[in-house]
């Protein structure tokens, strides 16, 4: 998450979230074979009421590689409990959306320094002299 990304002003409503659970790999012994602790959280960016139209368009552009039919899916299986994986997936989704809806930073027009202009022109002159020296005739 970037430093400019803020928390979402309004959290994503619970009714807009879709949950799927499956068996997770990793530590847990016999518990892993019987419990559905892996969590997949799906949220439809196209159908949400939590974002303004400007935020939706910005998020759609920035998250286009993660969108499938207008929805974002986040999976979590890092914890052994389903409850902690649910929380982790929701936090990750909120961070992802919060960083995607940060308005673009305005570009401040600047001018090159006098020294940088002089260095660039000196380098061009040096290059020109090098090429001119190579143009010698083949006697």
Q: Could you tell me the residue ranges of all domains in the chain?
A: 17-100
Q: Which fold has domain 17-100?
A: Double Stranded RNA Binding Domain (3.30.160)
108-134: pLDDT as tens digits? 999 999 999 999 999 999 999 999 999
pLDDT value at residue 80: 77
Per-residue tokens: 38: 């892996």
Cβ burial of 99 (10 Å; 0-12, 13-18, 19+) is middle
36-83: pLDDT as tens digits? 778 888 888 888 878 888 888 888 888 888 888 888 888 888 887 788
Alpha helices in 1-139 (DSSP H): 30-34, 53-62, 82-100, 114-134
Per-residue tokens: 90: 């929701």
**Strands laid side by side in the 71-76 sheet:** 17-22, 38-44, 71-76, 67-68
Residue with more model confidence, 8 or 62? 62
Average pLDDT over residues 80-94: 87
């Amino acid at each position: 998450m970037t430093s400019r990304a803020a928390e979402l002003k309004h959290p994503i409503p619970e009714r807009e979230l879709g949950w799927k659970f499956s068996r997770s790999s990793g530590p847990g012994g016999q518990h892993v074979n019987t419990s559905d602790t892996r969590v997949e959280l799906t949220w439809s960016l196209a159908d949400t009421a939590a974002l303004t139209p400007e935020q939706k368009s910005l998020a759609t552009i920035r998250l286009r590689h993660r969108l499938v039919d207008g929805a974002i899916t986040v999976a979590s299986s890092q914890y052994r409990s389903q409850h902690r994986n649910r929380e982790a997936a929701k936090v990750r989704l909120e961070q992802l959306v919060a960083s995607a809806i940060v308005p673009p930073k305005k570009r401040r027009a600047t001018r090159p320094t006098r020294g940088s202009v002089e260095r660039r022109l000196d380098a061009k002159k040096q290059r020109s002299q090098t090429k001119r020296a190579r143009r010698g005739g083949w006697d």
